[in-house]
Amino acid sequence: MKVDLHLHTNASDGTWTNEILLQRIKEHHITIFSITDHNTIENALLMREICDEPGIVYIPGVELSCRHAGKEYHITAYAFDPAATDLRNLLASNQQILDRWLQAVMEYTAAATGAFTLEQYRQYENDRSRGGNKAINFLLDLGVIATWEGFIKYAFDSGRTAEFPGAAAVIETVKRAGGRPILAHPSVYAGRPMEDKELAEWIELGIAGLECFHPSAAAQAEVQFYLDFCRKHDLMITGGSDCHGEFGRRRTIGQPEITLEMIRTDFIG
């Protein structure tokens, strides 16, 4: 049984609707999957209404932004109560934080380039099927940037940060909602595999597992290190493609190839 527990739709920064994603799931013979959009469960909940395919198991999820030791990190969460008040409040708050950050970055970019006014940006209607976000697509259409990476440079140069809540608070919120908080793509944050002492900090913060299988962990030795760590500390093992459809790095759905036997969770029946 093929598994992909990290997928994005056009409810956050992916390009696919739920219908397109479900079609891709069938085309790639994936039998267990999850939508983990950034800080929203809009499409994750809607997928439950259309995914009635025999032999396909769908698990609603979400990818939550948080901060730890001065960096932004992501927690993929599964098996939570979507009606939990604290979780709903966290989702709404994270969206507001993201919106304020985008506005601050665009204020800087407008001043730095002189290419647009904030009123022009405000009036811009974003096409969610393009993926990314409103700021990226606006700057692409103006020709201020040539690729989405150009936005990252302006964001970095602006010096602004999205002040998401601390990791411990986010993890606790997931747990109070009955969910399983997983540290997403541990090799992404420093551009290298995390070390034992770094991962141990996340155990102290309360994670239930690691996303051991992810495109960022390309070397088998890297994957094995995470697997061994999880087994040693009795943590859950998850994985997924982090596919955003046609946006960004064009990660391929179902890659890396993961089977049910390769992961370890308590939320897949």
pLDDT tens readout for residues 135-156: 999 999 999 999 999 999 999 9
In eight-state DSSP terms, residue 59 is -
User: What is the average pLDDT across 31-55?
Assistant: 97
pLDDT digits (tens, 9 = 90+) for 1-24: 999 999 999 999 999 999 999 999
Whether pTM > 0.85 for this model: the answer is yes
pLDDT of 211 reads 99
The tokens of 106 are what?
A: 């665009």
pLDDT at 58 over 80: yes
Residue 207: pLDDT band with limits 50, 70, 90: very high
**Helix 148-158, helix 134-142: angle, nearest 10:** 110
Identity of the residue numbered 113: T
- At 159 the three-state DSSP class reads coil
Q: Are the C-beta atoms of 116 and 144 separated by less than 8 Å?
A: yes
- 3-state helix, strand, coil split of the chain in percent (to 5) is 40, 20, 40
pLDDT of 53 reads 85
Q: How far is 182 from 171, CA to CA, in rounded Å? A: 9
pLDDT at 172 over 80: yes
- 99 Cα distance to chain centroid: 17
Residue 76: pLDDT band with limits 50, 70, 90: very high
Q: What is the total residue count of the chain? A: 269
Which residues are CB-contacts of 110 (< 8 A; sequence separation ≥ 6)?
116, 117, 118, 121
- 175 Cα distance to chain centroid: 18
In degrees, rounded to 5, the angle at the alpha carbon of residue 160 between the alpha carbons of residues 154 and 165 is: 130
pLDDT of 248 reads 74
Q: Are the C-beta atoms of 167 and 205 separated by less than 8 Å?
A: yes
Domain spans of the chain? 2-82+180-262, 91-158
Percentage of residues in the chain with pLDDT exceeding 70?
Answer: 100
Q: How far is 74 from 64, CA to CA, in rounded Å? A: 5
Q: Is domain 2-82+180-262 in CATH 3.20.20.140, yes or no?
A: yes
Residue 112: pLDDT band with limits 50, 70, 90: very high
pLDDT of 217 reads 94
